[in-house]
Amino acid sequence: MFEENDQIELFAIPTFKKERLDQFLFMTMKDESRSYYSRLIKDGYVKVNDNVIKKPSYNVKPHDKIVLQKKFKAPFVIEQDNLEIDILYEDDYIIVINKARNMVVHPGAGNARNTILNALIDSINKDEFADQERPGIVHRLDKETTGVLIIAKSEKIMRKLSEQFKNRTVKKTYIALVYGHLDQRNGLISMPIKRSKIHRQKMEVNFSGKTAITEYSVLSEGMFDKQVVSLLKINIHTGRTHQIRVHMSYIGHPIVGDKKYSTRSCKNCPEIALHALKIEFLHPIYDKTVSFSAPLPEDLKQFLIKCNINYDFDL
Protein backbone atom coordinates (compact mmCIF):
# COMPACT_ATOMS: atom_id res chain seq x y z
CA MET A 1 0.00 0.00 0.00
CA PHE A 2 2.79 2.44 0.89
CA GLU A 3 4.67 3.43 -2.27
CA GLU A 4 8.07 5.10 -2.48
CA ASN A 5 6.91 7.56 -5.16
CA ASP A 6 5.30 10.98 -4.69
CA GLN A 7 6.24 11.15 -1.02
CA ILE A 8 6.26 14.24 1.13
CA GLU A 9 8.63 14.38 4.11
CA LEU A 10 7.76 16.51 7.13
CA PHE A 11 9.63 17.05 10.40
CA ALA A 12 8.23 18.18 13.73
CA ILE A 13 10.49 20.95 15.02
CA PRO A 14 12.10 20.44 18.47
CA THR A 15 9.81 23.01 20.14
CA PHE A 16 6.71 21.54 18.54
CA LYS A 17 3.77 21.11 20.91
CA LYS A 18 2.19 17.63 20.93
CA GLU A 19 -0.69 17.42 18.47
CA ARG A 20 -2.79 14.74 16.79
CA LEU A 21 -1.26 13.41 13.59
CA ASP A 22 -4.28 14.24 11.42
CA GLN A 23 -4.40 17.77 12.84
CA PHE A 24 -0.64 18.19 12.29
CA LEU A 25 -0.94 17.20 8.62
CA PHE A 26 -3.98 19.42 8.16
CA MET A 27 -2.30 22.48 9.70
CA THR A 28 1.01 21.83 7.94
CA MET A 29 -0.21 20.98 4.44
CA LYS A 30 -3.35 23.17 4.35
CA ASP A 31 -4.40 21.77 0.97
CA GLU A 32 -6.95 19.16 2.08
CA SER A 33 -9.53 18.69 4.81
CA ARG A 34 -8.64 17.15 8.17
CA SER A 35 -10.97 14.24 7.41
CA TYR A 36 -8.97 13.55 4.22
CA TYR A 37 -5.75 13.20 6.21
CA SER A 38 -7.55 11.10 8.80
CA ARG A 39 -8.63 8.68 6.04
CA LEU A 40 -5.09 8.73 4.62
CA ILE A 41 -3.67 7.68 7.98
CA LYS A 42 -6.22 4.93 8.55
CA ASP A 43 -5.54 3.54 5.05
CA GLY A 44 -1.81 3.21 5.83
CA TYR A 45 -0.44 6.06 3.71
CA VAL A 46 1.49 7.79 6.53
CA LYS A 47 4.73 6.73 8.22
CA VAL A 48 6.19 8.18 11.40
CA ASN A 49 9.88 7.39 11.98
CA ASP A 50 9.65 4.68 9.26
CA ASN A 51 6.66 2.98 10.89
CA VAL A 52 3.20 2.98 9.33
CA ILE A 53 0.81 4.71 11.74
CA LYS A 54 -2.90 4.03 11.32
CA LYS A 55 -4.19 6.06 14.26
CA PRO A 56 -5.12 9.68 13.45
CA SER A 57 -4.95 10.35 17.21
CA TYR A 58 -1.22 9.54 17.35
CA ASN A 59 0.57 12.40 19.16
CA VAL A 60 3.28 13.95 17.01
CA LYS A 61 6.46 14.53 19.05
CA PRO A 62 9.47 16.82 18.52
CA HIS A 63 11.91 15.44 15.90
CA ASP A 64 9.32 13.00 14.49
CA LYS A 65 9.94 12.26 10.82
CA ILE A 66 6.64 12.01 8.98
CA VAL A 67 6.45 10.60 5.45
CA LEU A 68 3.19 11.16 3.63
CA GLN A 69 2.11 9.28 0.52
CA LYS A 70 -0.62 11.31 -1.16
CA LYS A 71 -2.98 8.97 -2.94
CA PHE A 72 -5.04 9.81 -6.00
CA LYS A 73 -8.50 11.03 -5.17
CA ALA A 74 -11.28 10.32 -7.60
CA PRO A 75 -13.95 13.01 -7.45
CA PHE A 76 -16.75 12.01 -5.10
CA VAL A 77 -20.03 12.19 -6.98
CA ILE A 78 -23.41 12.09 -5.27
CA GLU A 79 -26.26 11.36 -7.65
CA GLN A 80 -29.54 13.28 -7.45
CA ASP A 81 -32.56 11.23 -6.39
CA ASN A 82 -36.19 12.31 -6.47
CA LEU A 83 -37.29 11.50 -2.94
CA GLU A 84 -40.08 13.10 -0.98
CA ILE A 85 -38.50 15.22 1.76
CA ASP A 86 -40.51 17.10 4.39
CA ILE A 87 -38.81 20.52 4.43
CA LEU A 88 -39.62 22.53 7.56
CA TYR A 89 -37.56 25.60 6.63
CA GLU A 90 -35.18 26.73 3.89
CA ASP A 91 -33.22 29.90 3.10
CA ASP A 92 -30.05 30.65 1.12
CA TYR A 93 -27.87 29.05 3.79
CA ILE A 94 -29.60 26.11 5.48
CA ILE A 95 -32.31 23.50 4.99
CA VAL A 96 -34.18 22.10 7.99
CA ILE A 97 -36.11 18.89 7.38
CA ASN A 98 -38.34 16.46 9.24
CA LYS A 99 -36.53 13.17 8.65
CA ALA A 100 -38.77 10.19 7.95
CA ARG A 101 -38.24 6.80 9.58
CA ASN A 102 -35.81 4.40 7.86
CA MET A 103 -34.36 7.15 5.69
CA VAL A 104 -30.54 7.22 5.62
CA VAL A 105 -28.95 10.65 6.02
CA HIS A 106 -25.99 10.34 3.62
CA PRO A 107 -24.45 7.81 1.20
CA GLY A 108 -22.16 5.21 2.69
CA ALA A 109 -21.24 1.56 2.45
CA GLY A 110 -24.24 -0.23 0.98
CA ASN A 111 -26.25 3.01 0.64
CA ALA A 112 -25.03 4.88 -2.41
CA ARG A 113 -28.49 6.12 -3.39
CA ASN A 114 -31.87 7.08 -1.93
CA THR A 115 -30.49 9.07 1.01
CA ILE A 116 -31.47 12.53 2.23
CA LEU A 117 -28.27 13.96 0.77
CA ASN A 118 -29.07 12.39 -2.62
CA ALA A 119 -32.44 14.11 -2.54
CA LEU A 120 -31.03 17.53 -1.59
CA ILE A 121 -27.70 17.52 -3.43
CA ASP A 122 -28.91 19.96 -6.09
CA SER A 123 -29.92 22.44 -3.37
CA ILE A 124 -26.43 22.90 -1.98
CA ASN A 125 -23.27 24.47 -3.41
CA LYS A 126 -21.46 21.27 -4.43
CA ASP A 127 -18.39 23.10 -5.77
CA GLU A 128 -17.60 24.59 -2.34
CA PHE A 129 -17.41 21.19 -0.72
CA ALA A 130 -14.69 19.90 -3.05
CA ASP A 131 -14.22 16.15 -2.43
CA GLN A 132 -16.15 15.87 0.83
CA GLU A 133 -18.13 12.65 1.07
CA ARG A 134 -20.84 14.19 3.28
CA PRO A 135 -21.28 17.75 2.00
CA GLY A 136 -23.66 19.80 4.12
CA ILE A 137 -24.12 17.16 6.82
CA VAL A 138 -23.69 18.94 10.15
CA HIS A 139 -25.18 16.24 12.37
CA ARG A 140 -26.95 12.94 11.88
CA LEU A 141 -29.90 10.88 13.07
CA ASP A 142 -29.97 7.09 13.12
CA LYS A 143 -31.75 5.47 10.20
CA GLU A 144 -34.75 4.48 12.35
CA THR A 145 -34.95 7.81 14.22
CA THR A 146 -37.32 10.51 12.98
CA GLY A 147 -37.29 14.25 13.39
CA VAL A 148 -35.58 17.56 12.82
CA LEU A 149 -32.28 17.67 10.91
CA ILE A 150 -30.16 20.58 9.59
CA ILE A 151 -28.37 20.60 6.22
CA ALA A 152 -25.81 23.34 5.39
CA LYS A 153 -25.76 24.70 1.84
CA SER A 154 -22.09 25.71 1.79
CA GLU A 155 -18.83 24.71 3.44
CA LYS A 156 -18.65 28.05 5.26
CA ILE A 157 -22.07 27.51 6.83
CA MET A 158 -21.20 23.89 7.61
CA ARG A 159 -18.09 25.01 9.52
CA LYS A 160 -20.04 27.61 11.50
CA LEU A 161 -22.76 25.16 12.48
CA SER A 162 -20.25 22.40 13.28
CA GLU A 163 -18.52 24.80 15.65
CA GLN A 164 -21.78 25.33 17.52
CA PHE A 165 -22.27 21.58 17.88
CA LYS A 166 -18.65 21.22 19.05
CA ASN A 167 -19.13 23.98 21.65
CA ARG A 168 -22.43 22.38 22.80
CA THR A 169 -24.44 25.54 22.21
CA VAL A 170 -27.04 23.74 20.07
CA LYS A 171 -30.07 22.68 22.12
CA LYS A 172 -31.53 19.35 20.99
CA THR A 173 -34.80 18.01 22.41
CA TYR A 174 -36.01 14.46 21.80
CA ILE A 175 -39.12 12.48 22.65
CA ALA A 176 -38.59 8.84 23.60
CA LEU A 177 -40.87 6.06 24.76
CA VAL A 178 -39.04 3.68 27.08
CA TYR A 179 -39.86 0.53 28.99
CA GLY A 180 -40.68 0.69 32.68
CA HIS A 181 -41.50 3.10 35.48
CA LEU A 182 -38.76 5.57 36.37
CA ASP A 183 -38.61 6.32 40.10
CA GLN A 184 -36.48 9.37 39.37
CA ARG A 185 -38.77 11.66 37.37
CA ASN A 186 -35.93 13.94 36.33
CA GLY A 187 -32.42 12.67 35.79
CA LEU A 188 -29.00 13.30 34.32
CA ILE A 189 -26.98 10.43 32.86
CA SER A 190 -23.30 11.28 32.55
CA MET A 191 -21.55 8.11 31.39
CA PRO A 192 -18.80 7.92 28.72
CA ILE A 193 -19.49 6.01 25.52
CA LYS A 194 -17.26 4.20 23.05
CA ARG A 195 -17.63 1.60 20.31
CA SER A 196 -17.89 -1.99 21.47
CA LYS A 197 -14.83 -4.11 20.68
CA ILE A 198 -17.02 -7.22 20.45
CA HIS A 199 -20.02 -5.89 18.51
CA ARG A 200 -18.59 -3.24 16.19
CA GLN A 201 -22.04 -1.99 15.14
CA LYS A 202 -22.90 -1.15 18.75
CA MET A 203 -21.78 1.48 21.24
CA GLU A 204 -21.45 0.92 24.98
CA VAL A 205 -20.91 2.71 28.26
CA ASN A 206 -17.17 2.48 28.89
CA PHE A 207 -15.07 4.60 31.24
CA SER A 208 -12.35 4.91 28.58
CA GLY A 209 -14.89 6.38 26.14
CA LYS A 210 -15.89 9.95 25.30
CA THR A 211 -17.98 12.14 27.59
CA ALA A 212 -21.71 11.70 27.01
CA ILE A 213 -24.42 13.59 28.91
CA THR A 214 -28.16 12.90 28.61
CA GLU A 215 -30.83 14.76 30.59
CA TYR A 216 -34.38 13.44 30.83
CA SER A 217 -37.74 14.14 32.43
CA VAL A 218 -40.83 11.92 32.55
CA LEU A 219 -43.84 13.38 30.73
CA SER A 220 -46.34 10.55 31.12
CA GLU A 221 -46.82 6.84 31.71
CA GLY A 222 -48.96 4.21 30.05
CA MET A 223 -49.40 0.49 29.50
CA PHE A 224 -48.98 -1.71 26.46
CA ASP A 225 -49.10 -5.49 26.30
CA LYS A 226 -49.04 -5.61 30.12
CA GLN A 227 -45.84 -3.59 30.22
CA VAL A 228 -45.39 -0.14 31.76
CA VAL A 229 -44.00 2.40 29.29
CA SER A 230 -42.85 5.96 30.00
CA LEU A 231 -42.78 8.93 27.66
CA LEU A 232 -39.68 11.08 28.17
CA LYS A 233 -38.45 14.47 27.12
CA ILE A 234 -34.70 14.21 26.54
CA ASN A 235 -32.03 16.86 26.02
CA ILE A 236 -28.56 15.73 25.01
CA HIS A 237 -25.56 17.88 25.89
CA THR A 238 -23.24 15.80 23.70
CA GLY A 239 -23.83 14.05 20.41
CA ARG A 240 -22.31 10.59 20.59
CA THR A 241 -23.40 7.81 18.26
CA HIS A 242 -26.52 6.06 19.63
CA GLN A 243 -26.15 8.14 22.80
CA ILE A 244 -29.78 8.18 23.96
CA ARG A 245 -30.29 4.52 23.09
CA VAL A 246 -27.15 3.43 24.96
CA HIS A 247 -27.82 5.57 28.04
CA MET A 248 -31.46 4.55 28.43
CA SER A 249 -30.54 0.89 28.03
CA TYR A 250 -27.74 1.32 30.58
CA ILE A 251 -30.13 2.55 33.30
CA GLY A 252 -32.52 -0.33 32.58
CA HIS A 253 -35.10 1.56 30.50
CA PRO A 254 -34.36 0.81 26.82
CA ILE A 255 -36.30 2.54 24.09
CA VAL A 256 -39.40 0.72 22.88
CA GLY A 257 -38.74 -1.00 19.55
CA ASP A 258 -34.94 -0.78 19.81
CA LYS A 259 -33.77 -4.26 18.88
CA LYS A 260 -30.08 -3.33 19.03
CA TYR A 261 -30.03 -2.24 22.67
CA SER A 262 -32.98 -4.13 24.14
CA THR A 263 -33.93 -7.79 24.48
CA ARG A 264 -37.61 -6.98 25.08
CA SER A 265 -40.12 -7.69 22.35
CA CYS A 266 -42.93 -5.37 21.37
CA LYS A 267 -45.54 -6.30 18.77
CA ASN A 268 -46.82 -3.64 16.39
CA CYS A 269 -44.71 -0.87 17.94
CA PRO A 270 -42.68 1.74 16.03
CA GLU A 271 -39.17 0.76 15.02
CA ILE A 272 -37.35 2.71 17.76
CA ALA A 273 -39.77 5.11 19.46
CA LEU A 274 -37.31 8.00 19.36
CA HIS A 275 -38.02 11.36 17.72
CA ALA A 276 -35.87 14.48 17.38
CA LEU A 277 -38.59 16.96 18.31
CA LYS A 278 -36.84 20.32 18.40
CA ILE A 279 -33.53 22.02 17.67
CA GLU A 280 -32.40 25.49 18.67
CA PHE A 281 -29.24 27.23 17.46
CA LEU A 282 -27.75 30.54 16.35
CA HIS A 283 -28.42 31.17 12.68
CA PRO A 284 -24.94 31.26 11.07
CA ILE A 285 -25.71 34.40 9.03
CA TYR A 286 -28.59 36.25 10.66
CA ASP A 287 -26.93 36.04 14.10
CA LYS A 288 -30.17 35.31 15.91
CA THR A 289 -31.41 32.26 17.77
CA VAL A 290 -33.77 30.13 15.68
CA SER A 291 -35.83 27.14 16.72
CA PHE A 292 -37.46 24.43 14.60
CA SER A 293 -39.79 21.60 15.61
CA ALA A 294 -40.88 18.43 13.83
CA PRO A 295 -44.29 16.88 14.58
CA LEU A 296 -44.38 13.32 15.89
CA PRO A 297 -44.60 10.67 13.15
CA GLU A 298 -48.01 9.10 12.69
CA ASP A 299 -46.93 5.59 13.76
CA LEU A 300 -45.62 6.92 17.08
CA LYS A 301 -48.77 8.98 17.70
CA GLN A 302 -50.99 5.96 17.08
CA PHE A 303 -48.87 3.81 19.37
CA LEU A 304 -49.08 6.40 22.17
CA ILE A 305 -52.86 6.34 21.84
CA LYS A 306 -52.78 2.54 22.32
CA CYS A 307 -50.69 3.10 25.44
CA ASN A 308 -53.26 5.66 26.68
CA ILE A 309 -50.61 8.39 26.64
CA ASN A 310 -51.45 11.97 25.71
CA TYR A 311 -49.00 13.25 23.10
CA ASP A 312 -50.53 16.72 22.83
CA PHE A 313 -47.98 18.33 25.14
CA ASP A 314 -46.44 21.80 25.12
CA LEU A 315 -42.64 21.81 25.24
Domain of 288: which CATH number? 3.30.2350.10
Enter the pTM of the model.
0.77
* Domain shared by 191 and 309, yes or no: yes
Whether 179 is covered by a domain: the verdict is yes
- pLDDT bin (cut points 50, 70, 90) of residue 293 is very high
* Domain shared by 193 and 305, yes or no: yes
* Domain shared by 204 and 216, yes or no: yes
* Domain shared by 122 and 185, yes or no: no
Q: What pLDDT shows up at residue 23?
A: 85
* Domain shared by 36 and 60, yes or no: yes
Q: Which of 31-40, 74-83, 136-145 has the lowest mean pLDDT?
A: 74-83
Does 129 or 234 have the greater pLDDT score?
234
> Catalytic residue at 142?
yes
* Domain shared by 174 and 264, yes or no: yes
Give per-residue pLDDT as tens, 170-185. 999 999 999 999 999 9
CA distance 84 to 194: 34
* Domain shared by 271 and 180, yes or no: yes
Structural domain that includes position 100: 74-167
* Domain shared by 182 and 256, yes or no: yes
Overall average pLDDT of the 28-34 stretch: 72
Q: What pLDDT shows up at residue 108?
A: 73
Cβ atoms < 10 Å from Cβ of 199: 10
Q: Which of 142, 183, 299, 314 is catalytic?
A: 142
State the total domains in the chain.
3
* Domain shared by 174 and 315, yes or no: yes
Overall average pLDDT of the 124-152 stretch: 86
Whether 101 is covered by a domain: the verdict is yes
Between the alpha carbon of residue 3 and those of residues 43, 49, 52, 66, the distances in Å are: 13, 16, 12, 14
First to last CA, the chain: 54
* Domain shared by 188 and 304, yes or no: yes
Single residue among 69, 86, 106 that ends a domain in this structure: 69
Q: What pLDDT shows up at residue 314?
A: 67
Overall average pLDDT of the 60-75 stretch: 75
Q: What pLDDT shows up at residue 3?
A: 53
Overall average pLDDT of the 137-151 stretch: 95
Single residue among 101, 132, 167 that ends a domain in this structure: 167
Whether 56 is covered by a domain: the verdict is yes
* Domain shared by 178 and 293, yes or no: yes
- pLDDT bin (cut points 50, 70, 90) of residue 284 is very high
Overall average pLDDT of the 279-301 stretch: 96
Single residue among 167, 183, 211 that ends a domain in this structure: 167
* Domain shared by 33 and 100, yes or no: no
Whether 1 is covered by a domain: the verdict is no
Whether 2 is covered by a domain: the verdict is no
Give per-residue pLDDT as tens, 199-226. 888 999 999 999 999 999 999 999 998 9
Treating both helix axes as pointing N-terminal to C-terminal, what angle do 34-42 and 21-29 enclose, rounded to 10 degrees? 130
Does 129 or 195 have the greater pLDDT score?
195
- pLDDT bin (cut points 50, 70, 90) of residue 12 is low
